[in-house]
Amino acid sequence: MAEDESPLLFNRDSGILLHPSSLPGDFGIGDFGPSALRWLDTLFESGQNLWQILPLHPTGYGDSPYQSLSAFAVSSLFLSPDSLYESGLITKAELSSFILPKRAAIRYVDVQTNKLELAKRASCRFFNLADKSSLRIGYEQFLVRQSEWLLPFALFSALKSKFGGVAWTNWPSAFRDRHVDALSNAEKELSEDIRRIFFEQYILSKQWGSVRAKAQELGIRIIGDMPIFIAHDSADVWCNPNLFRLATDGNPTVVAGVPPDYFSATGQLWGNPLYDWGAHVSQDFSWWRSRVGKLMDWVDLARIDHFRGFQSCWEIDGTADCAVKGRWVEAPGKEILDIFLDELGAPLPLIAEDLGVITPEVLALRDAYHLPGLRIQQFAFGSDVMKDTFIPEAYDSNCVAYTGTHDNDTVVGWFNSQPGVSSTRSADEVEKERAAAMSYFGTDGSEINWDFINALYSSEAGATLVPIQDVLGLGSYARMNTPGTASGSWRWRISDDLALEPSLTRLKELTHKTLRGLAVNKINTYE
């Protein structure tokens, strides 16, 4: 159990929420190359010491990073062609050939085709390097260190491609049920694909390692994200069916979601299989130990998405078509957090996403481990029963405050929103929220995003995080995700024609004035 006293994770820190996929660049999607390094310079120059990202894992259904093909692997879409060129693994002509037309939104099909061809060419040249080259020596060491998850993920990915991308429950039964002979033969047949996937994961680790090294040099901490649930169509569930509540055909008997909420009158049916907690207990939570350890190899801190699932989960029948009918079932949160404490030490480098239907039991679990919770400023002006906790005056030194998260509309979009669009609000409720915000800030709302940001930074919150869209004052078209929708999310990118400097200069001045970020740590020198 956690100690009674624990140092806090934050001390008037501040930063920006921006997923690497949204970074600008020539290759259709942000990556782990020069654009990420330039972004760190941008954060430093604007006085910020936090960079929050979303899960880095390979995206699955709906291109969502929260429906990932693996809880351990990283998406090959983040491979940087520039960095591969600098390493001598592609030619200058090849580098130019991977440039895609400039677009404001990610076209995942085009990017996936592009990055697969990139990986094939680079891996071919890589495996022709001398065995004693530094890259090849590092690769062999990587294979040993990551052996627990790497081959299972690579085999899963290769088989998924072989069978046309369908879910593993629709594969021939010998592969669905992991017959030893079938898998052994598949390893031989698909060895070239498997080796390419090994290469991708190795290069991704090296490229991100350069990003992390620069972040540490600049005094910037990276906040990652750990979705509490795992996608059903994933290497994790295929390889460990005993850890999840599945029928004999591999399909989930019960799935996760949330009851009706702000975003949907019928709740959110996520479809993730629920854990067989008894199986995890019998294995001393070894899978969770590996998972949290791997995540913390990549980031400095992590947000636990849907933290309340560690106390209880909304259990829905696996055949249901919406989330209205369900029930709360208890989860062994104390045991899991004790494991995390054992693995990571105190203070736990974790943030509890404590939004939604939150009970005293959930809050007690969060507070027992001194985890900072979330405060979403948009929720301060509506009918949420907890709205008084979302107003800036209520923030304290052990909370992380946002204008909105990746699930919210942008502040400008929220302020100008229409009833029934992306939420369950009526026309009257929309107007009341707008009026409440203008009254609270004493403004006409013409710069509502800066009204929000000024209040956020002036608060007592231990950390403040603002989506880059709100810093730039963008409308709903720049929204990252709309919960409850099957497609169309996760595509927004910073366009080359977006002028970042004026807004970030203004943010820098505010950061200095409110003694946040690098200012409070005296790392940055302000003119």
Per-residue pLDDT reduced to its tens digit, 84-94: 999 999 999 99
CB-based contacts of 244, cutoff 8 Å, min separation 6? 230, 237, 252, 273, 274, 275, 276
Q: What is the pLDDT confidence band of residue 6, given thresholds at 50, 70 and 90?
A: low
3-state SS assignment for residue 374: strand
pLDDT above 70 coverage of the chain, percent? 96
What is the pLDDT averaged over residues 175-197? Answer: 98
Per the domain annotation, does 346 fall within a domain?
Answer: yes
Backbone angles phi, psi at 222, to 5 degrees: -100, 125
What is the pLDDT averaged over residues 343-370? Answer: 95
CB-based contacts of 217, cutoff 8 Å, min separation 6? none
pLDDT the model gives residue 1: 44
Per the domain annotation, does 280 fall within a domain?
Answer: yes
CA distance 411 to 107: 25
**Could you write out the DSSP letters of every residue in 55-104?**
--SPB-GGG-TTSBS-SS---GGG--HHHHHHTTSS-HHHHHHT-----S
Q: What is the mean pLDDT of the chain?
A: 94
Which residues, listed in sequence order, are joined to residue 463 by a DSSP beta bridge?
13, 400
Per the domain annotation, does 289 fall within a domain?
Answer: yes
Per the domain annotation, does 329 fall within a domain?
Answer: yes
Sign of torsion over alpha carbons 250, 256, 260, 261: negative
Which residues, listed in sequence order, are joined to residue 358 by a DSSP beta bridge?
none
Per the domain annotation, does 441 fall within a domain?
Answer: no
What is the pLDDT averaged over residues 125-150? Answer: 97
Per the domain annotation, does 457 fall within a domain?
Answer: no
pLDDT the model gives residue 123: 98
Cβ atoms within 10 A of the Cβ of 94, count?
17
Q: How many domains does the chain have?
A: 1
Poorest-pLDDT segment among 162-176, 376-390, 436-450: 376-390
Higher pLDDT, 524 or 245: 245
Per the domain annotation, does 252 fall within a domain?
Answer: yes
3-state SS assignment for residue 268: strand
Is pLDDT at 179 greater than 50 in this prediction? Answer: yes
* Catalytic machinery residues: 305, 353, 407
Q: What is the pLDDT confidence band of residue 3, given thresholds at 50, 70 and 90?
A: very low
Helices (H), 322-378: 333-344, 360-368
Per the domain annotation, does 92 fall within a domain?
Answer: no
pTM for the model stands at: 0.95
Which residues, listed in sequence order, are joined to residue 51 by a DSSP beta bridge?
16, 222
Taking a C-beta distance cutoff of 8 angstroms, is the pair 498, 21 a contact?
A: no
State which H helix or E strand residue 170 sits in. Answer: none
pLDDT the model gives residue 285: 97
Residue 332, domain extent = 240-355
Taking a C-beta distance cutoff of 8 angstroms, is the pair 15, 191 a contact?
A: no
Name the residue with tokens 């007592």: 460
483-503: string of b/e by CB count within 10 Å (b at 16+)? bbeeeebbbbbbeeeeebeeb
Backbone angles phi, psi at 247, to 5 degrees: -80, 175
Q: Is 251 exposed, middle or buried (0-12, 13-18, 19+ CB in 10 A)?
A: middle
